[in-house]
């Protein structure tokens, strides 16, 4: 089985190859990928917070470098690449591609192709979708909508054992998803995806994408920032108001700009 590649449309940004083209172009590529018989294609979704994490955690940087595609999931990255391009230090990244939008597009495309999608991780999604139903004879497997399945994996992925692994294998055999959306937060979700490459390949998965807490928003637990705030790059503020515990993590945004302006 071959590995699909998206060779053009990439720009080097702080030693990471970020996708730099339109979402429409990406969706065309994804459509052809879903029709092919190829090894799983890994999509990771760094934002400025995560790029800063690569400065502190070299393992995380290596995970990102192993992705088949890194989409620029944050306004700060677009602004930063624009500023670096003025200084002649980098090329400009064309457009932000938000992971939350791409995840929803993937579900729609799969529905049109009669393919299924499995969300791995996240919490209580069966409660957020009133019409959900648990799959009989399976531990922790729910059908959330027509072609969307969900399993929370375990309570703490860092302590998952062989029983959890066997459960995942059973679930993959049952659902046979074309797409897996891994919702465990960075860097756990990237680590989990890469560590399960072989299993995902054997299970016929075509696309593996990390989604963090995107389904907490899509399924209505949290609100998404209004378009005007997203366009001004203030999505982080909207999330902070809803989840004040994020303040510590969001300090990484300051570090990102500090690094970019004074160190790069
Ligand atoms: N999560 C999980 N199991 C874990 C740790 C996290 O299912 O062991 C889920 C958590 O419920 C949330 C998502 O992973 O839905 C992580 O979201 P986070 O807000 O960290 O990601 P972001 O959206 O900021 O990338």
CB of residue 122 inside a 6 A radius of ligand 1: yes
CA 16, CA 70: separation in Å to the nearest integer?
A: 8
CA 78, CA 94: separation in Å to the nearest integer?
A: 8
Closest ligand 1 atom to residue 216 Cα is 15
Task: Out of 128, 183, 224, give the residue to mutate to test ligand 1, the one with the largest number of ligand atoms within 8 Å of its CB.
Answer: 183
Task: Out of 47, 124, 210, 212, give the residue to mutate to test ligand 1, the one with the largest number of ligand atoms within 8 Å of its CB.
Answer: 212
Distance of CA 87 from the midpoint of ligand 1 (Å): 36
Beta sheet of 16-19, edge-to-edge order: 10-13, 16-19, 69-70, 41-44, 207-210, 179-183, 117-121, 148-151, 142-145, 133-134
Query: What is the value of pTM for the model shown?
Result: 0.95
Distance of CA 212 from the midpoint of ligand 1 (Å): 5
**Nearest residue by C-alpha to atom 17 in ligand 1:** 213
Q: pLDDT value at position 151?
A: 95
Task: Out of 53, 180, 185, 244, give the residue to mutate to test ligand 1, the one with the largest number of ligand atoms within 8 Å of its CB.
Answer: 185
8 A C-beta contact, residue 152 and residue 162: no
CB of residue 185 inside a 6 A radius of ligand 1: yes
What tens-digit pLDDT sequence spans the chain (264 residues)? 777 887 778 888 988 999 999 999 999 999 999 999 889 999 999 999 999 999 999 999 999 999 999 999 999 999 999 999 998 888 899 999 999 999 999 999 999 999 999 999 999 999 998 766 889 888 889 999 999 999 998 656 676 778 888 999 999 999 999 999 999 999 999 999 999 999 999 999 999 999 999 999 999 999 999 999 998 989 999 999 999 999 999 999 999 999 988 877
Burial 147-161 (b: 16+ CB within 10 A, else e): bbbbbbbbeebeeee
256's CB contacts (< 8 A; 6+ apart) are 48, 49, 51, 52, 76, 80
């Amino acid at each position: 089985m071959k590995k699909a590649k998206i060779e053009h449309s990439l720009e080097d940004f702080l030693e990471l190859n970020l996708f730099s083209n339109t979402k429409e172009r990406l969706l065309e590529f994804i459509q052809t990928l879903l029709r092919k018989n190829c090894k799983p294609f890994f999509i990771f979704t760094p934002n400025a917070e995560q790029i800063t994490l690569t400065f502190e955690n070299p393992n995380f940087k290596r995970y990102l470098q192993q992705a088949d595609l890194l989409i620029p999931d944050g306004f700060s990255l677009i602004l930063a690449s624009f500023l670096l391009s003025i200084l002649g230090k980098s090329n400009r990244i064309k457009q932000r591609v938000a992971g939350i939008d791409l995840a929803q597009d993937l579900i729609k495309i799969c529905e049109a192709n009669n393919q299924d999608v499995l969300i791995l991780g996240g919490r209580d999604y069966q409660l957020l979708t009133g019409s959900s139903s648990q799959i009989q004879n399976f531990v922790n497997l729910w059908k959330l909508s027509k072609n969307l399945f969900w399993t929370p994996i375990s309570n703490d992925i860092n302590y998952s054992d062989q029983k959890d692994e066997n459960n995942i294998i059973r679930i993959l055999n049952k659902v046979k998803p074309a797409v897996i959306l891994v919702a465990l937060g960075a860097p756990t979700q990237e680590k989990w995806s890469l560590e399960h490459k072989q299993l995902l390949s054997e299970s016929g998965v075509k696309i593996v994408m990390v989604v963090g807490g995107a389904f907490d928003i899509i399924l209505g637990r949290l609100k998404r920032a209004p378009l005007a705030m997203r366009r001004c790059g203030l999505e982080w503020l909207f999330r902070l108001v809803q989840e004040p515990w994020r303040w510590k993590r969001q300090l990484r945004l300051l570090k990102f700009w500090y690094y970019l302006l004074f160190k790069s």
